[in-house]
Amino acid sequence: MTTPTSGPDRPDAVVVGAGFAGLYALHLLRQRGLSVRLFEAGDDVGGTWYWNRYPGARCDIESIFYSYSFDEDLKREWQWSERYAAQPEILAYLQHVADRFDLRRDITLSTRVESAHFDEASDRWTVTTDAGETVSAQHLVLGVGLLSSTNLPQIPGRDDFAGPTYHTGAWPHEPVDFSGQRVGVIGTGSSGIQLIPLVAEQADQLTVFQRTPNFSLPARNGEPDPRFVKRFHEDFENAREELRNSSYGILLEPPTRSALEVSDEEREATYRARWEEGTLTGILQAYNDHVRNHEANHHAAEFVRARIAEMVDDPQVADDLTPRGYAYGTKRPCLDTDYYATYNRDNVTLVNVRRDPIERITASGIVAGGVRHELDALVFATGYDAMTGPLLGIDIRGRGGVRLADKWAEGPVTYLGISTAGFPNMFMICGPGSPSALSNAVVSIEQHVEWVADLLTHLRESDTEVVEAEAGAEVEWSEHVQAAGRMTLYPETDSWYMGANIPGKPRVFLPYIGGVGHYRQHCARIARDGYPGFALRRPARR
Ligand code: NAP
- The rounded percent of the chain whose pLDDT value lies above 70 is 98
**Is residue 1 scored above 50 in pLDDT?**
no
138 touches ligand 1 (CB under 6 Å): no
The alpha carbon dihedral of 480, 502, 497, 490 has a sign of: negative
Residues 244 and 267 in one domain: yes
Asked which of 334, 365, 380 is the last residue of a domain, the reply is 380
Distance CA 109, CA 397 (A): 24
Nearest ligand 1 atom to alpha carbon 332: 32
Tell me how far apart the alpha carbons of residues 517 and 243 are, in angstroms, rounded to a whole number.
8
Which residues is 421 bridged to in the sheet?
none
179 lies in a domain? no
214-239: b (≥16 Cβ within 10 Å) or e:
bbbbbbebeebbeebbebbeeeeeeb
Coil, helix or strand at residue 87: helix
Distance 368 CA to ligand 1 centre (A): 20
Instruction: Determine the pLDDT at residue 2.
Output: 38
Q: What is the pLDDT of residue 6?
A: 56
Burial of residue 73 (number of CB atoms within 10 Å: 0-12, 13-18, 19+) = exposed
Distance from the alpha carbon of residue 190 to the mean position of ligand 1, in angstroms: 6
* Count of domains forming the chain: 2
- On whether both 394 and 516 belong to a single domain, the answer is yes
Q: Which domain-ending residue is among 380, 407, 425?
A: 380
**344 in the same domain as 390:** no
Ligand 1 centroid vs 176 CA: distance in angstroms? Answer: 21
Strands (E), 337-447: 348-352, 358-362, 365-368, 371-374, 377-380, 395-397, 426-428
Q: Between helices 294-311 and 264-277, what is the axis angle to 10°? A: 60
The DSSP secondary-structure symbol of 292 reads: T
The answer to whether residues 138 and 198 belong to one domain is no
| Claim to verify: residue 368 and residue 397 sit in the same structural domain | no
Using one digit for the tens of pLDDT, what is the confidence trace for 72-88?
999 999 999 999 999 99
The answer to whether residue 181 sits within a structural domain is: no
Q: What are phi and psi of 155, to 5 degrees?
A: -90, 130
- The CATH number linked to 450 is 3.50.50.60
184 lines ligand 1 (CB under 6 A): no
Is residue 156 in a domain? Answer: no
The ligand 1 atom at the shortest distance from the C-alpha of residue 57 is 42
Question: Count of CB atoms within 10 A of residue 62's CB?
Answer: 24
Domain-terminating residue out of 321, 349, 380:
380
Residues 376, 266 share a domain: yes
Alpha helices in 32-148 (DSSP H): 48-51, 72-77, 87-100
Tell me the torsion sign for CA atoms 344, 212, 281, 384.
negative
Q: Are residues 198 and 323 in the same domain?
A: yes
127, pLDDT greater than 80: yes
Give 129's Cβ-side CA count (13 Å radius). Answer: 21
Q: Are residues 493 and 359 in the same domain?
A: no
Q: Measuring CA to CA, how many Å separate 61 from each of 230, 246, 248, 434, 443?
A: 17, 14, 10, 19, 11
The answer to whether residues 348 and 474 belong to one domain is: no
Averaged confidence pLDDT in the chain? 96
- Residue 8's pLDDT is 85
Residue 160 lies in a domain: no
Asked if residue 539 is part of any domain, the answer here is no
Give the pLDDT confidence of 254-291 residue by residue, as tens digits: 899 999 999 999 999 999 999 999 999 999 999 999 99
Using pLDDT thresholds of 50, 70 and 90, give the confidence band for residue 188.
very high
- Does the residue 3 lie in any domain? no
Q: What is the sign, positive or negative, of the torsion defined by CA atoms of 500, 501, 503, 504?
A: negative
- Characterise 54 by phi-psi region: left (phi > 0), alpha (psi -120 to 50), beta (else): beta
Give the whole-angstrom CA distance, residue 31 versus residue 38: 15
How many angstroms is it from 42 CA to the middle of ligand 1?
Answer: 22
What letter would DSSP give residue 8? T
Cα 515 to Cα 513: distance, rounded to the nearest angstrom:
5
| Whether residue 342 sits in one domain with residue 269 | yes
In a domain, 197, yes or no: yes
pLDDT at 3 over 80: no
Residues 475, 438, single domain; the answer is: yes
Q: Give CA separation, 336 vs 61, 247, 252, 279, in Å.
A: 12, 23, 20, 10
Instruction: Domain of residue 288: give its range.
Output: 186-380
Q: How many CB atoms lie within 10 A of CB 463?
A: 9
**Ligand 1 geometric centre to CA of 189 (Å):** 4
Spatial distance between the Cα atoms of 146 and 430, rounded to a whole number of angstroms? 7
pLDDT at 540: 74
Cβ(483)–Cβ(513) under 8 Å? no
**Domain membership flag for residue 4:** no
Name the band, by pLDDT with cuts 50, 70 and 90, for residue 539: confident
Average pLDDT over residues 352-364: 98
pLDDT > 90 fraction of the chain, expressed in percent and rounded? 97
Same domain, 363 and 318: yes
